[in-house]
C-alpha cells in the first residue's frame, strides 16, 4: 500500500496538470480503477491494524473520483447519495469520528490524523479558485501572531548546509557502492565480509535519499535557510555558496534519482533570482556570480 501511495504522490508531483484536469473533468477510467481498489481495501480493512494502513491510501483514491466525493459530502446536507457509494460514505464518517474528541482508539485517531494530513496536502495541488469539494473538508485557520516565523531557523544555516553536504555524500557513495556490490557478487575472490558491509550500507541509502529529497525541496522553498552567513568573511561566504550550488548541480546530473534531480533544478532556479544572487556574497556579489558560473 505504501508503494502505491508513493506512486500516486510521485505522479501528482511530476504531472500536477494532469491531476488538476482530473479534478476539473472526471476521468472515468481512472475513477473506475480507483473505485475498485477502494472497495478491495475496504473489504480487507476489517481490523484496526489494517485500517491504519488502508485509510491514507483510501482517501487518495477517493480524491480521484471528485463527483463521488462531492455526492458523499453533499449527503451530509440532506442530498441524495447512491447506495453504491455507501461504503465510501461510511469511510468518511469513520475518519470524522476517529479524528473527533471522542475517538474510539488511539490507533484509529492517529490513522485518521494521517489521513486528514494527506487530504490537506492533496488540496494544495488543486486551484484555490476551484469549487472542489475537497476544500469543504479542510479547516482553514488564519495565521496567528504567535506562530513561529521561518527566519528563526536562519541562524542554523551553517548546520543545515553541513547536513546537506553530508547527506549528499552519503547518498552518492551509496549509489557507487550499489554498483560495486553487484560487481563483487559476480566475483568469487572477494570475502563475504566485504559484501555484507556493502549490503548494510545500501540498506541505509533509501533513508538518506529521502532526507536529501526533502532538504533540496527546503532549499527550493526558502533558499535563505542555506544562504544566511552573518558574521562570516566574504571568502567563507563565497566558498559555502559554491559548495551548495555545486552540490545541487551534481544532483541535476544524477540519473538514478529523477525526483531529486527535478527538485535540484527548481532550487537552482530560485537561487539564481537576482535578489538571491546578491546574498551569495554580499561583499562582492558580481564577482562571486561569475566565479560560481
pLDDT digits (tens, 9 = 90+) for 131-171: 666 666 664 445 556 556 788 888 889 999 999 999 999 88
- Placement of cell 556570480 in the chain: 289
Last residue of some domain: 108, 137, 166? 137
Domain that residue 256 falls in: 150-292
In a domain, 27, yes or no: yes
Look over the chain and give the mean of its residue pLDDT values, rounded to a whole number: 79
Question: Would 142 be classed as within a structural domain?
Answer: no
Q: What are the distances in angstroms from CA 103 to CA 74, 100, 106, 123, 179?
A: 24, 5, 7, 24, 49
Asked whether residue 199 falls in the same domain as residue 224, the answer is yes
Q: What total of structural domains would you count in the chain?
A: 2
Question: Would residue 253 count as lying in a domain?
Answer: yes
Inter-residue contact 233 to 186 (CB < 8 Å)? no
State how far the alpha carbon of 24 is from the alpha carbons of 17, 21, 67, 156, 191, in Å: 10, 5, 10, 42, 59
Domain identity same for 202 and 177: yes
Contacts of 168 (CB under 8 A, 6+ apart): 212, 247, 250, 251
φ, ψ for residue 127, nearest 5 deg = -60, 135
**Which of 27-41, 169-183, 259-273, 276-290 is predicted most confidently?**
259-273
Q: Among residues 137, 163, 179, which one ends one of the domains?
A: 137
Residue 143 cell numbers, joined = 495565521
Q: Report the pLDDT averaged over residues 2-18.
A: 88
What Rg value do the Cα atoms of the chain yield, rounded?
24
Q: Tell me, what's the pLDDT at 104?
A: 67
Least confident segment among 40-49, 139-148, 276-285: 139-148
Same domain, 132 and 157: no
Residues 219, 89 share a domain: no
Same domain, 170 and 256: yes
pLDDT band at 189 (very low <50, low <70, confident <90, very high): very low
- How far is 201 from 281, CA to CA, in rounded Å? 37
Please indicate, yes or no, whether residues 101 and 171 belong to a single structural domain of this protein. no
> Both 234 and 259 in a single domain?
yes
Amino acid at each position: 500500500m505504501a508503494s502505491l501511495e508513493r506512486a500516486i504522490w510521485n505522479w501528482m508531483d511530476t504531472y500536477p496538470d494532469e491531476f488538476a484536469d482530473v479534478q476539473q473533468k472526471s476521468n472515468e477510467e481512472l475513477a473506475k480503477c480507483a473505485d475498485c481498489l477502494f472497495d478491495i481495501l475496504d473489504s480487507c480493512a476489517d481490523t484496526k491494524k489494517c485500517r491504519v494502513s488502508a485509510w491514507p491510501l483510501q482517501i487518495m483514491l477517493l480524491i480521484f473520483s471528485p463527483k463521488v466525493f462531492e455526492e458523499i459530502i453533499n449527503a451530509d446536507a440532506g442530498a441524495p447519495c447512491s447506495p453504491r457509494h455507501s461504503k465510501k460514505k461510511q469511510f468518511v464518517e469513520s475518519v470524522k469520528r476517529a479524528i473527533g474528541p471522542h475517538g474510539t482508539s488511539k490507533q484509529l485517531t492517529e490513522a485518521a490524523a494521517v489521513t486528514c494530513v494527506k487530504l490537506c496536502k492533496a488540496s494544495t495541488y488543486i486551484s484555490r479558485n476551484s469549487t472542489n469539494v475537497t476544500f469543504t473538508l479542510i479547516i482553514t485557520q488564519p495565521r496567528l501572531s504567535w506562530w513561529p516565523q521561518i527566519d528563526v531557523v536562519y541562524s542554523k544555516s551553517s548546520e543545515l548546509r553541513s547536513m546537506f553536504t553530508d547527506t549528499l555524500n552519503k547518498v552518492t557513495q551509496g549509489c557507487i557502492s550499489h554498483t560495486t556490490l553487484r560487481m563483487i557478487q559476480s566475483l568469487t575472490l572477494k570475502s563475504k565480509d566485504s559484501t555484507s558491509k556493502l549490503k548494510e550500507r545500501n540498506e541505509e541509502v533509501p533513508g538518506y535519499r529521502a532526507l536529501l529529497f526533502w532538504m533540496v525541496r527546503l532549499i527550493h522553498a526558502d533558499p535563505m535557510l542555506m544562504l544566511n552567513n552573518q558574521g562570516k568573511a566574504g571568502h567563507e561566504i563565497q566558498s559555502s555558496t559554491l559548495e551548495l550550488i555545486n552540490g545541487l548541480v551534481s544532483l541535476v546530473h544524477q540519473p538514478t534519482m529523477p525526483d531529486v534531480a527535478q527538485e535540484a533544478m527548481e532550487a537552482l532556479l530560485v537561487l539564481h533570482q537576482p535578489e538571491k544572487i546578491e546574498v551569495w556574497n554580499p561583499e562582492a556579489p558580481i564577482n562571486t556570480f561569475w566565479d560560481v558560473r
